[in-house]
Structure 1
Amino acid sequence: MKELPTGNGARLIKSGLDPVRVPFDQIPVIDLEPMFSGDADAKAALAESLRHACTQVGFLYIKNHHFPKEALAAAFAEAEQFFAQPDEAKMKNHVSKSSNLRGYAAMLEENTDPTARGDLHESFDIALDVPADDPDVLAGKVLYGPNQWPEDRPSFRKALESYHAEMIKLSHHLLHAFALALGLEETYFDAMVTKPLATLRVLHYPPQFGEIDERQIGIGAHSDYECFTILAQQMGIPALQVLNAAGEWIAADPMEDCFVVNVGDQMARWTNDLFASTVHRAINRSGKERYSIPFFFGPNYDTIVEVLPSCVDEDHPAKYPPISSGDYVNGRFTATFASYAEQQKDAATVV
């Protein structure tokens, strides 16, 4: 066993690279159709299933999510073409040229597991596109700001902006389901996500062969920082592994027409760990290049994330102090990305 630091405290995990292969029904499949149909009884049944998935597993698949297939296909196609470019072309939009962690990051630049040696993937990040003269940007809320784009790849920008916009729509439907699963009004969180910290990543994982150092894999063991993550995986290329309560790694292989959803740290803090923010990792031993597209959805920068009243009582006091969404996520990014940490350090020095 080893101890993995996360934003919500240390977690114990077993060593080894091989996941346990279990039937998919052990990672629940949730039918999201009732959130589009408006049927109250169907929504109530969905909420009960979602609550069970979030309390027992922290990971789930969603089907009937109404996400446009053409937007999904375009994003994967553009990601593959972007990452196939020479390094010097990709580095023109390196994250170091952005003050808010937008753009390209190369292999090993990210280290999600502080006990490891860097992640074997490259990425391109965008988020909510906020103009440089926006009051929140001028106020120094560092996770707001403009995206940066390759000047010679307009189709890449179009595909990712379209994907991001559609994910925002889906996230609102999913957040309504989360509210119902917590016994709240469906629109409880709406005022907190009018300007969300919503990051889209396209990722490329090269295959790993032979003996693999557990300290250097596609992406190291970690929990996500926001409310939830919606992940698109390519069919036939398994890599994602989820840590269960027994400290075993469970395979979360791609499922046709489904996204993977996992609870993030902020939702865990809101619910006093009633909803589990589950540790996960990715190891690409498929023999093929792997591309994935996670979307991280969290509340507005200034939203105070504190334990919901319904999730505390005399026997279950609040585990976490209140913290703003922006401060929490910014702190986790600083701990994960070395170049971003240097930027923040330099900015603090100037101030």
Structure 2
Amino acid sequence: MEDTIPVIDVENLSDQTEGKKLRDACEKWGCFRIINHSTPLTLMAEMKRVSEALLDLPVEIKKNNKDVIAGSGYKAPSDVNPLYEALGLYDLGSSQVMQDFCSQLNVTPYQRQVMEAYGKAIHELAVKIGEKMAESLGIFGADFEDWPCQFRINKYHFTPKAIGSLGVQLHTDSGFLTILQDDESVGGLEVVNQSGSFVSVPPFHGTLLVNLGDIAKVWSNGRFFNVKHRVQCKKAAIRFSIATFMLGPRKGNVEAPIEMVDHDHPRLYQPFVYEDFRKLRVSKKMHTGEALELLRLW
């Protein structure tokens, strides 16, 4: 296996060869870099500036960013992740949730405009990638439009003393897929390949990263790989990243479509509600995909 993650050209995903490449990336890596993703570079740069401004706010203001579901609000540096803090909002597509977030942090009209434009672009991209992932498995007409997207902006306080330590502990994402705008000048992201080795994912200008989470593994009936990843401090610098997490169905159960189940591929996981699974991960402190084993049928 190569020691660099695959690169997927979003513009060419209707091409059979690129579609097969996407499926291979989902099955063998659980992550890939995307190019020609149509999100304007100017918008990405503006979103980073907004992120920096919001994360530089006084702590007493950042604490107004309350959880809607566990982990969706302000995360202060902790004993587990002392170099990391984040702000977030639960449902990027909800104007009311966006309004609440902006009110909590005294966001300016321009900052809100940037966030709304960025959120719309990334949500459309997440839906498109989800559909193409489904098509790569022979499933046409899969609808991810109503799946909520959680939004999080991250700041890592990397100091000289912190070099070699972790900015964020090893974990899988709990949702279906994550689109990450990484820091273009400060690396540190590492993923675990299927042989168990850590692979560095250095920054690359103008691209976005996609990670598959636990729900992708369930939805694909075990075909897709829920990638473990972490952030390691490689140099003394403030590091920012912007993550959009497409979670799971807003209504009904997480379960593999019937096309993914047959005599040779029995259903691997019992159907469940996404939020129940998220709570299970938190209550059991199972952050690297182990919670799926509790829901396994075979």
- TM-score, normalization by structure 1: 0.72
Q: Distance in 2 between matches of 1:280 and 1:102?
A: 19
1:31 to 1, 5, 9: 9
Instruction: Give the AA of the match of 1:33.
Output: E
1:156 to 80, 87, 111: 111
**Judging changes above 3 Å, is the alpha-carbon distance between structure 1 residues 308 and 207 closer, same or farther for their aligned structure 2 residues?**
same
- TM-score, normalization by structure 2: 0.84
**Judging changes above 3 Å, is the alpha-carbon distance between structure 1 residues 152 and 235 closer, same or farther for their aligned structure 2 residues?**
closer
CA RMSD of aligned residues (A): 2.7
Q: How does 1:120-159 map to 2 (within 5 A)?
A: 120-126=83-89, 127-128=91-92, 130=94, 147-149=100-102, 150-151=105-106, 153-159=108-114
Q: Distance in 2 between matches of 1:312 and 1:196?
A: 22
Instruction: Give the AA of the match of 1:251.
Output: S
2:127 to 172, 178, 181: 172
Contact 1:119 1:220 in 2 (8 A): no
Q: Distance in 2 between matches of 1:62 and 1:297?
A: 16
In the TM superposition, residue 197 of structure 1 has moved relative to its aligned partner by 1.7
1:95 aligns with 2:50: no
Larger radius of gyration: 1
Q: Distance in 1 between matches of 2:156 and 2:110?
A: 22
In the TM superposition, residue 166 of structure 1 has moved relative to its aligned partner by 1.1
1:196 aligns with 2:147: yes
Q: Distance in 1 between matches of 2:117 and 2:282?
A: 25
1:253 aligns with 2:202: yes
In the TM superposition, residue 330 of structure 1 has moved relative to its aligned partner by 4.6
**Judging changes above 3 Å, is the alpha-carbon distance between structure 1 residues 155 and 122 closer, same or farther for their aligned structure 2 residues?**
farther
Q: Secondary structure at the match of 2:129?
A: helix
Contact 2:33 2:210 in 1 (8 A): yes
Q: Secondary structure at the match of 2:241?
A: strand
Q: Distance in 2 between matches of 1:264 and 1:320?
A: 15
In the TM superposition, residue 302 of structure 1 has moved relative to its aligned partner by 1.5
Q: Distance in 2 between matches of 1:270 and 1:213?
A: 36
Q: Distance in 2 between matches of 1:201 and 1:328?
A: 20
1:105 to 75, 79, 83: 75
Contact 1:75 1:159 in 2 (8 A): yes
In the TM superposition, residue 146 of structure 1 has moved relative to its aligned partner by 6.5
Q: Which moved more, 1:156-165 or 1:276-285?
A: 156-165
**Judging changes above 3 Å, is the alpha-carbon distance between structure 1 residues 196 and 59 closer, same or farther for their aligned structure 2 residues?**
same
In structure 2, stretches of 5+ residues that fail to align are 286-298
Number of residue pairs matched?
A: 282
Alignment correspondent of 2:179 = 230
Q: Distance in 2 between matches of 1:282 and 1:205?
A: 9
Alignment correspondent of 1:55 = 27
Q: Distance in 1 between matches of 2:36 and 2:252?
A: 30
Alignment correspondent of 2:230 = 281
Alignment correspondent of 1:112 = none
In the TM superposition, residue 177 of structure 1 has moved relative to its aligned partner by 1.0
In the TM superposition, residue 228 of structure 1 has moved relative to its aligned partner by 0.7
1:82 aligns with 2:37: no
Query: Deviation per CA, 1:138-175, whole angstroms, max 9, x where unpaired?
Result: xxxxxx89642222533333322221111111112211
Q: Secondary structure at the match of 2:119?
A: helix
Alignment correspondent of 2:191 = 242
Contact 2:139 2:259 in 1 (8 A): no
Alignment correspondent of 1:139 = none
**Judging changes above 3 Å, is the alpha-carbon distance between structure 1 residues 304 and 63 closer, same or farther for their aligned structure 2 residues?**
same
Q: Distance in 2 between matches of 1:292 and 1:169?
A: 19
Q: Secondary structure at the match of 2:184?
A: coil
Alignment correspondent of 1:8 = none
In the TM superposition, residue 212 of structure 1 has moved relative to its aligned partner by 6.4
Alignment correspondent of 2:38 = 66
Instruction: Give the AA of the match of 2:86.
Output: S
In structure 1, stretches of 5+ residues that fail to align are 1-21, 110-116, 133-143, 337-351
1:327 aligns with 2:269: no
Q: Distance in 2 between matches of 1:167 and 1:318?
A: 31
Q: Distance in 1 between matches of 2:107 and 2:6?
A: 42
Q: Secondary structure at the match of 1:123?
A: strand
Q: Secondary structure at the match of 1:95?
A: coil
Q: Distance in 2 between matches of 1:273 and 1:326?
A: 20
